[in-house]
Structure 1
Amino acid sequence: MIKRSVRPLFSVVFVFAAAAATLCFRTILSGGAGDSFIASDAGLTQKLPPVFNATLLTFAAVDLGQDSLKQNVEQLVDGNFRTARNNRQRSFLSAGRYRLDIGARSARGGPIDLRSPEFYRLWLEFRRYLQDWWRHRHFDPDIMSNMVNVLKTSKMAGISGSGKKYKTCAVVGNSGILLNHNLGSAIDNHEFVIRLNNARIGGFERFVGSKTSLSFMNSNILHLCARRGGCFCHPYGEKVPIMMYMSQVAHFLDYTICNSSHKSPLMITDPRLDVLTARIVKYYSVNRFLKETGKPLEAWASVHGGPEFHYSSGMQAIMFALGVCQKVSIFGFGKSDSAKHHYHTNQKTELSLHDYLAEYDLYQDLVKSPEAIPFVSDKFKFPTVIMHR
């Protein structure tokens, strides 16, 4: 997961801005994304679009780790990894704060000669991928309407050149609540099935199904897979495409090394989708925090990790599905005192840098009132969403 420090000057600016925003605290509590109604000529009521609080929107749009992330990208792009030491072959390359492990991960399966054309090619590709990602990392409210273009260029089955969407999609989370119902057949009946973070399905088919159309993960998973021979990261089969979001920019090296060895598409989420998802989850998290605690805006960061706060893999996968599917069914999202955190592991606690309750608020709005979701362009029409609990 992303763990980034905030530079002192940025911290001062943020505290000042947060303190100023607190002046509108009472307005936020009373003027959130509630529904408004007016009387029609026939005496009936007509539902109007929700009115978003400008202060809360502005606060949610602030990326606390942006300054630090920019510095990290610059270090990686400008670092001279080839001359860090005198060894021609080594497992780690160092530049600044980064030590990038490339030992025994070349296309040949052995150490990479740092003076070889192979390393030079990898280095140039690594920089190109990272620079292109950073160049496109900005807020774009229309990005949801462009999600199908990602699949068109990746040659994934079911997406035509015209940008046709899948009719039905299932996003399968990893919550232990899946073990409460036999939903395997219902999941497999969808045209397109997305699974998360290489969750095991063997032995759980009657609960979670067996069909997988897309493996969605964070880049920490690929980083672990890259240490294996051939960058093996295919628990659902070598022909299943993989999509991931970059939780650490150094993982672009893993992507660079593994990309050529994958028999199916290995894709990275559009950074504009990353920015949009981050703003939305922060909006819901802050809104819940203010209503539940009554504390001022600036107190939110200390409770939710500040620059380390991040959306979950599941939320990002759902956001992606909203853009490529006509109907989205959500399985395995939610908690229960009687259910395990993950259906396939014994993990008992959640990651503190995620606000799962805020994400569940978002999912409820997707089902009942998608117009209440901020930052998304009015041009985008949300698909029908069904949540199975």
Structure 2
Amino acid sequence: MRQNISKHIDGKLSLIIYKHNTPAKYMIFNRNLNKLKKANTTEFLQHHDTCAIIGNSGILLNSGCGREIDAHDLVVRANCARILGFENDVGKKTSIMAFNQASMRLLKQRIGGRKIVDRGLLKMFRTFNNTIAWYPLGAGGKETSALKAVGMKLGFVNFRIAYSISTPMDLSKELWRLRLPSSGLNMFSAMNYYCDKISLYGFFPFYKDTHGRPIRHHYYETVKYNYTDSRHSMPQEYVSLTQLNKDGVLRLVTDQCNY
């Protein structure tokens, strides 16, 4: 699949990471590679053997997959998904936290302003350990500036900031021929460049599990979601991922784990 990705974009440009101790004033989210190289403030993500990409489906509740997830070399999560209190099912490790536009707005409103109004979200950042906070939908603009503002407020102690020159969204549109791929599919598309073996957890866009039991849209909250009337095509994405699982391209985990 990595060869197919290279037909569309330069995969390494999906994650431009600011190095430790880079002053905020030098975080300008430049798209010019020559200028980036000259500034020497950024680096690319290293290659990894095993990677876990965590979706936020309620299928994770009572899965007991936490230890199995944490055993991967790289663990990628998305959109401020809560971990505290769910460690047995979703693990503790967060190598990369990706943010879409909605979660970036949430981040800016709740902990990026003058007053912190979401202590739970703040606590999540405090538990990061060399985590990469990644805005994969482009460089510059309000979103990356908001991420930098949060970093300045919290001192960049536990995390680094990353952005994309070649966006996973554009890659997913080319690979899957979808109008608006989901955050989960975008992460999977991008991580194929960096990972040899990928396992997906929490990718299950349905109202009931395989045993007919009702499940939440998100494991950490009780919001409602209409899978059949959505901007995304999650059931269609799931069909494609299921086929890749059968073909041995990835490992799709939708049941309990026995680690």
**Shorter-normalised TM-score: what interval?**
0.5 to 0.7
Return 342-351 or 187-196, whichever deviates more. Answer: 342-351
User: Is 2:231 aligned against 1:361?
Assistant: no
Q: Name the SS for the 2:218 alignment partner.
A: coil
1:284-310 residue CA offsets vs partner (Å, 9 max, x unmatched): x5xxxxxxxxxxxxxxxxxxxxxxx52
Q: Which position in structure 2 is the counterpart of 1:245? A: 136
After superposition, residues 263-278 of structure 1 pair within 5 angstroms as 263=156, 264-278=159-173
Cα drift, residue 314 of structure 1:
1.0
CA contact (8 A) 1:184 1:207 kept: yes
RMSD: 3.2
Distance 2:47 2:239 in 1: 26
Distance 1:385 1:224 in 2: 31
Q: Name the SS for the 1:330 alignment partner.
A: strand
Distance 1:362 1:202 in 2: 31
CA contact (8 A) 2:148 2:161 kept: no
Amino acid at match of 1:328: I
Distance change >3 Å, CA 279–CA 249, structure 1 → 2:
farther
After superposition, residues 136-215 of structure 1 pair within 5 angstroms as 141-143=7-9, 145-146=11-12, 150=15, 153-155=17-19, 164-215=46-97
Q: Which position in structure 1 is the counterpart of 2:189? A: 319
Cα drift, residue 252 of structure 1:
4.8
1:263-301 residue CA offsets vs partner (Å, 9 max, x unmatched): 1322223344321212334x2x5xxxxxxxxxxxxxxxx
CA contact (8 A) 1:144 1:323 kept: no
Distance change >3 Å, CA 355–CA 219, structure 1 → 2:
same
Pick from 80, 96, 100 the counterpart of residue 218 of structure 1: 100
Distance change >3 Å, CA 141–CA 272, structure 1 → 2:
farther
CA contact (8 A) 2:112 2:149 kept: no
Q: Name the SS for the 1:186 alignment partner.
A: helix
CA contact (8 A) 2:99 2:134 kept: yes
Count of aligned pairs between the two proteins = 207
Distance change >3 Å, CA 162–CA 252, structure 1 → 2:
closer
CA contact (8 A) 1:143 1:273 kept: no
1:136-156 residue CA offsets vs partner (Å, 9 max, x unmatched): xxx973426435x835x5448
Cα drift, residue 359 of structure 1:
1.1
Unmatched 5+ residue regions in structure 1? Answer: 1-138, 286-308, 371-383
After superposition, residues 325-340 of structure 1 pair within 5 angstroms as 325-334=195-204, 335-337=206-208, 338-340=214-216
User: Is 2:253 aligned against 1:388?
Assistant: yes
CA contact (8 A) 2:11 2:190 kept: no
Distance change >3 Å, CA 256–CA 209, structure 1 → 2:
closer
Distance 1:171 1:253 in 2: 25
Distance 2:57 2:131 in 1: 22
1:233-259 residue CA offsets vs partner (Å, 9 max, x unmatched): 652435422112339965355346446
Higher fraction of helix = 1
Unmatched 5+ residue regions in structure 2? Answer: 21-42, 209-213, 255-259
Distance change >3 Å, CA 252–CA 202, structure 1 → 2:
closer
CA contact (8 A) 1:219 1:245 kept: no
Distance 2:68 2:137 in 1: 31
Cα drift, residue 318 of structure 1:
1.2
Q: Name the SS for the 1:280 alignment partner.
A: helix
Distance 2:146 2:86 in 1: 30
Distance change >3 Å, CA 163–CA 193, structure 1 → 2:
closer
CA contact (8 A) 2:137 2:167 kept: no
Distance 2:105 2:131 in 1: 18
Larger Rg: 1
Distance 1:164 1:254 in 2: 26
CA contact (8 A) 1:144 1:273 kept: no
After superposition, residues 61-72 of structure 1 pair within 5 angstroms as none
Distance 2:46 2:6 in 1: 22
CA contact (8 A) 1:315 1:359 kept: yes
Q: Name the SS for the 1:195 alignment partner.
A: strand
Q: Which position in structure 1 is the counterpart of 2:109? A: 227
